[in-house]
Amino acid sequence: MLDSSGGISDPILTVDKVAKSFGGVQAVREVSLQVERGSIFSIIGPNGAGKTSLVNMISGFYKADQGSIKFDGTELIGRKPNGIAELGIARTFQNIALFRGLTVLDNLMLGRHVRMKSSVLSCFMYWGAAQKEEIHHRKRAEEIIDFLRISDLRRANTGELAYGLQKRVELGRALALDPTLLLLDEPMAGMNQEEKEDMVRYVLDVNAEFGTTIVLIEHDMGVVMDISDHIVVLDQGEKISDGTPEQVKADPAVIRAYLGASHLQE
Ligand SMILES: Nc1ncnc2c1ncn2[C@@H]1O[C@H](COP(=O)(O)OP(=O)(O)OP(=O)(O)O)[C@@H](O)[C@H]1O
Ligand SMILES: [Mg+2]
């Protein structure tokens, strides 16, 4: 939703002139963007454009060199990943980050840990309360497992699952946080067509059913153009385009950035 001035009416996330360099490499150069609450917002761009670095700054894995990142008015720069997760921001990783030796259910329970109040010590002191809390969290983890249609796999060893299912469990781990904002770094990379279609459906359902705002990094242009409300394009650390799928698709700067401009034709 754009207001009359072309701005965003209800931003959940405001990134303002954020930059990050590694030695001589300027990974992100003064990027600003706003994400509308409840939207599906995609970040695209060629390899090395700075997409993951930007998401790493939002989620606290990298500290921005400059600028500001506000989530519902709260400054995120300077906070640790756990503190940012507690605010309601969950993420998945470009390379699967699961505990391979644990079951699917245990991976989801770990995803809920920032929502758990009982520490090890308080477990000894108020065993009953901790027990009750554990039951509540387990119920939510089971709900997410049902939502992702992996009930028959809940006791399976995560490391032994097919790649596409591991990606789905990783989405589950992020959803277990009950996030307001979900950052997905290439959730469909390496998937076959059927697995991709499933993942697209889950992303759309999370957005529609839970009202979760989604920030999606994805290379599959067909998917991005299809499901995004808004797209930002990065190239060599710089934002080169920002608009609706139609606007971005027609932007000569975007076509130039992608050597194979055929990517953009569905
Ligand atoms: N921890 C790091 N240390 C050094 N350089 C880094 C680090 N993280 C990112 N970079 C560099 O920053 C630039 C942007 O990388 P980034 O991973 O953000 O790109 P990307 O858009 O996610 O690319 P891809 O599509 O390949 O995932 C690259 O030149 C990369 O080598
Ligand atoms: Mg990346």
Q: Which ligand is nearest to the CA of 63?
A: 1
pLDDT over 90 (residue 87):
yes
DSSP classification of residue 117:
-
pTM given for the model = 0.91
Please choose from 18, 21, 22, 221 the residue to mutate so as to test ligand 1's pocket, defined by most ligand atoms within 8 A of CB.
22
Asked if 53 and 62 count as a contact pair (C-beta separation under 8 A), the reply is yes
Query: Going by C-beta distance under 8 Å and a sequence separation of 6 or more, which residues neighbour residue 180?
Result: 12, 72, 88, 89, 212, 213
* CA distances to 59, 91, 236 from 65, in Å: 15, 21, 17
Say what angle helices 163-175 and 104-111 make with each other, to 10 degrees: 30
Alpha-carbon span 248 to 256, nearest angstrom: 12
Report which protein residue has its CA nearest ligand 1's atom 1: 22
Residue 42 exposure: Cα atoms within 13 Å on the Cβ side: 27
Q: Which of 82-91, 126-135, 209-218 has the lowest mean pLDDT?
A: 126-135
Q: Which of 58-62, 136-140, 179-183 has the lowest mean pLDDT?
A: 136-140
Q: What pLDDT, on a 0 to 100 scale, did the predictor assign at position 29?
A: 98
Q: Which of 11-15, 89-93, 127-131, 187-191 has the lowest mean pLDDT?
A: 127-131
| Alpha carbon of residue 83 to chain centroid | 16
Residue 45 Cα: closest atom of ligand 1: 21
pLDDT tens-digit readout, 137-166? 899 999 999 999 999 999 999 999 999 999
DSSP classification of residue 90:
E
Report which protein residue has its CA nearest ligand 1's atom 2: 22
Residue 53 Cα: closest atom of ligand 1: 18
Q: What is the mean pLDDT of residues 49-66?
A: 97
pLDDT over 60 (residue 103):
yes
DSSP classification of residue 160:
G
45 lines ligand 1 (CB under 6 A): yes
Give the number of other Cβ atoms within 10 Å of residue 120's Cβ. Answer: 7
Of 266 and 251, the structure prediction assigns the larger pLDDT to 251
DSSP classification of residue 8:
B
Asked if 210 and 38 count as a contact pair (C-beta separation under 8 A), the reply is no
pLDDT over 70 (residue 136):
yes
Q: Which ligand is nearest to the CA of 57?
A: 1
Q: What pLDDT, on a 0 to 100 scale, did the predictor assign at position 20?
A: 98
Say what angle helices 193-210 and 163-175 make with each other, to 10 degrees: 10
- Domains of the chain, CATH where assigned: 1-88+179-266 (3.40.50.300), 102-173 (no CATH)
pLDDT over 60 (residue 30):
yes
